[in-house]
Amino acid sequence: MTTVTYMIPNISCGHCVHTIQTEIGEMAGVKSVKADMVSRETVITFEPPATEEKIKALLAEINYPVAA
Protein backbone atom coordinates (compact mmCIF):
# COMPACT_ATOMS: atom_id res chain seq x y z
CA MET A 1 0.00 0.00 0.00
CA THR A 2 1.36 3.41 -1.01
CA THR A 3 0.22 6.88 0.01
CA VAL A 4 1.09 9.93 -2.08
CA THR A 5 0.24 13.61 -1.76
CA TYR A 6 -0.22 15.64 -4.92
CA MET A 7 -0.62 19.37 -5.36
CA ILE A 8 -3.40 19.98 -7.89
CA PRO A 9 -3.57 23.70 -8.77
CA ASN A 10 -6.84 23.40 -10.73
CA ILE A 11 -8.87 22.61 -7.61
CA SER A 12 -11.10 25.63 -7.10
CA CYS A 13 -14.30 24.46 -5.43
CA GLY A 14 -16.16 21.56 -3.88
CA HIS A 15 -17.17 20.32 -7.30
CA CYS A 16 -13.51 19.81 -8.21
CA VAL A 17 -12.98 17.88 -4.98
CA HIS A 18 -15.99 15.69 -5.73
CA THR A 19 -14.89 15.02 -9.32
CA ILE A 20 -11.37 14.04 -8.30
CA GLN A 21 -12.52 11.83 -5.44
CA THR A 22 -15.09 10.10 -7.65
CA GLU A 23 -12.93 9.59 -10.75
CA ILE A 24 -9.76 8.51 -8.95
CA GLY A 25 -11.73 6.53 -6.39
CA GLU A 26 -13.12 4.35 -9.17
CA MET A 27 -9.67 3.26 -10.35
CA ALA A 28 -8.84 -0.37 -9.55
CA GLY A 29 -6.42 -0.53 -6.62
CA VAL A 30 -7.19 2.94 -5.24
CA LYS A 31 -8.21 2.65 -1.58
CA SER A 32 -8.84 6.26 -0.62
CA VAL A 33 -8.77 9.75 -2.09
CA LYS A 34 -8.95 12.91 -0.03
CA ALA A 35 -8.81 16.21 -1.91
CA ASP A 36 -8.67 19.51 -0.02
CA MET A 37 -10.35 22.54 -1.52
CA VAL A 38 -8.22 25.07 0.39
CA SER A 39 -4.72 23.59 0.31
CA ARG A 40 -5.36 21.93 -3.11
CA GLU A 41 -3.52 18.90 -1.85
CA THR A 42 -4.85 15.46 -2.62
CA VAL A 43 -3.85 12.42 -0.59
CA ILE A 44 -4.26 9.11 -2.39
CA THR A 45 -3.69 5.63 -0.97
CA PHE A 46 -3.38 2.81 -3.48
CA GLU A 47 -1.98 -0.62 -4.27
CA PRO A 48 -1.49 -2.52 -7.55
CA PRO A 49 -2.84 -2.49 -10.22
CA ALA A 50 -2.96 1.27 -9.57
CA THR A 51 0.34 3.13 -10.05
CA GLU A 52 1.42 6.74 -9.66
CA GLU A 53 1.79 6.90 -13.43
CA LYS A 54 -1.81 5.76 -14.02
CA ILE A 55 -3.20 8.08 -11.35
CA LYS A 56 -1.34 11.09 -12.76
CA ALA A 57 -2.47 10.20 -16.29
CA LEU A 58 -6.11 10.05 -15.20
CA LEU A 59 -5.84 13.33 -13.29
CA ALA A 60 -4.44 15.00 -16.42
CA GLU A 61 -7.21 13.45 -18.52
CA ILE A 62 -9.95 14.91 -16.30
CA ASN A 63 -8.22 18.30 -16.38
CA TYR A 64 -6.68 18.22 -12.93
CA PRO A 65 -2.99 17.73 -13.71
CA VAL A 66 -0.59 17.37 -10.79
CA ALA A 67 1.78 20.31 -10.26
CA ALA A 68 5.29 19.59 -11.57
- Point out which residues bind Cu ion (CB under 5 A): 12-13, 15-16
Strands 30-35 and 2-7 turn out to be unpaired
Size of the chain in residues? 68
The nearest distance, CB 42 to Cu ion, in angstroms, is 13
Phi, psi of 19 (to 5 degrees): -60, -50
Taking the least distance from each CB to Cu ion, the nearer of 48 and 63 is: 63
The nearest distance, CB 12 to Cu ion, in angstroms, is 4
Identify any residues that bridge with 45 across adjacent strands, giving them in sequence order.
3, 32
Taking the least distance from each CB to Cu ion, the nearer of 35 and 44 is: 35
Taking the least distance from each CB to Cu ion, the nearer of 17 and 50 is: 17
The nearest distance, CB 62 to Cu ion, in angstroms, is 12
Q: Which helix (H) or strand (E) holds 5?
A: strand 2-7
